[in-house]
Amino acid sequence: MTVLEGPSIPATTPSEVAGFIARDHGLLIAGQWRPSSGGRTVVSVNPATGQPLATLAAGERADVDDAVAAARAALADPGWRDISPLQRGELLHALADLVEAHADELALIESLDNGKPVSVARAVDVGTTAKLFRYFAGWPSKFEGSTIPISPRGGLRVLNYTVHEPIGVVGAIVPWNFPMSMAAWKLAPALAMGNAVVLKPAEQTSLSTLRLAELIGQAGFPSGVVNVVTGLGSVVGAAIAGHGGVDKVAFTGSTAVGRLVTAAALGNMKKVSLELGGKSPHIVLPDADPAAVARAACDGIFFNQGQTCTAGSRLYVHADIYDEVMSALIDEARRIVVGPGHDPATQMGPLVSASQLDTVGSYIESGLADGAELACGGSRPAGLGAEYADGYFLEPTVLTETTHAMRVVREEIFGPVLVAMRWTDVDDLIDKANDSPYGLSAGLWTNDLTKAHRIAAAIKAGTVWINCYNLTDPASPFGGYKQSGWGREMGRAVLDQYTETKSVWVNLT
């Protein structure tokens, strides 16, 4: 262990983590770490202290050009182009092994950089990353083409078959809420299918992705197969989205930025997949267990500080059990321990940045001005140490007496703010649940499976959880309806996003 000066890193931080964070972090291009071509840097901040944590290279358009050139060279290199499907799978398995071997280190890096509890980073972020690489390690030798029985004109005998080929250079742009696991959402299928990647992590939370990139090299992936360009989204992200040498862009983030990515991609008509925002309804029928619902609803909105695209931010409770559910839920919310992510007792950490805290605070003020009532939270938690005076902390917040005319009900807040409403008529409930530009996910609680399946069928969302919430798995496709995105992440479905299908016709006459 090492003892460090300054407020950004706890004194108990292990030396390997402290040493990694203290570096001047460069860009990974063609297997080499180097500074930005313009020499500029960007500072990562510890959300728990509001103080500088690490210095990152701020990439320029020229650096994206170099990264794309390195990726195209890797695609043409026999060391990547010609390896067998089983060998690609072996590389992904080796990477999963390394992620698991460095799990505690990666989780602490993620916690310090993002703010989330280290227990969540260990179980969810690191655990999901390893599972993703393991799951997709099995696909390279199993993603088969097909032979197609056709009926050609003139009585010709023709063999028609399909093959799946790598799409080429993938530009992957990932968000700050799950930095490493979201990077793996894109890296795992892209690499399994034989592509090369230019990866842009969020400027607020690049550290875990940079450490993952080091492990990718240790696993044996050839130079240039994965390139990482850190920096501002308006510079690096925009350059990737508009680059003529990028064949596909995979983006996770806000719907507003997703529109910009789509517009930029039109230049060379590159393929685009988008995983965007959400304002997910969490529905409670009158036969549900209030205590179980209260626990699940708290987890659904306060997990990861509410900074989750699937957050169950709109709670609809049947009027018959509304008071009982809300009483139990508010008690649960008040018991949540808010503190720095590295503290084992912490259940909810700070928000990621000062601007995000300001945004969430403005939504709370808007809701109260519109007539909502503050049932709990809404302020900075008491009892935090002086070293966290500038941290971006907010109590779990519940607003009641809300209506669909309010911004807090209609817009994605991306913070620990729950809006609660009563309902009595199921048809009106479904209309209100679907009355949103988003359609990412929904939750439903009932012991009546007939009603559960009927309501699930009526909800316009890519994922519906029944008597559970926020479950994902690498084998199950994930994505949204409407303005929540295009395409699917994970599962068999995502492989089509990272391949081109070629139809081959052979005249046998």
- Tokens matching residue 474: 């690498």
Geometric angle at alpha carbon 460, from 456 and 462, rounded to 5°: 85
3-class secondary structure per residue, 129-187:
HHHHHHHHHCCCCCCCCCECCCCCHHHCCEEEEEEEEECCEEEEECCCCCHHHHHHHHH
Amino acid identity of residue 21, one-letter, is: I
User: CA 117 → CA 177, 298, 386, distances in Å?
Assistant: 12, 16, 19
Six token digits for residue 9:
């890193």
Distance CA 280, CA 216 (A): 35
How many angstroms separate the CA atoms of 19 and 228, rounded?
20
The answer to whether the beta carbons of residues 411 and 279 sit under 8 Å apart is yes
* Whole-number Å distance between alpha carbons of 68 and 244: 9
- Selection from 69, 86, 75 nearest residue 192 by Cα: 86
Instruction: Report the C-alpha gap between 410 and 403 in whole angstroms.
Output: 9
Give the integer Cα–Cα distance in Å for 10 and 51.
Answer: 12
Assign 219 to helix, strand or coil.
Answer: helix
Q: Are 34 and 62 in contact (CB under 8 A)?
A: no
**Tokens read off for 477:** 């496709």
110 is catalytic: no
With a CB cutoff of 8 Å and minimum separation 6, the contacts of 397 are: 333, 364, 374, 376, 377, 378, 415, 416, 417, 418
- Joined tokens for residue 235: 């510079």
Catalytic annotation present for 275: yes
Tell me whether strands 32-34 and 27-29 are parallel, antiparallel or unpaired.
antiparallel
A 10 A CB-CB count for 482 gives 17
Beta strands in 16-114 (DSSP E): 24-25, 27-29, 32-34, 41-46, 51-57
Contact between 392 and 427 under an 8 Å Cβ cutoff? The reply is: no
What DSSP element (H or E) covers 81?
A: helix 78-81
Of the candidates 60, 110, 203, 275, the residue annotated as catalytic is: 275
Give the number of C-alpha atoms closer than 13 A to the C-alpha of residue 466, restricted to the C-beta side: 13
Active site residues: 275, 309
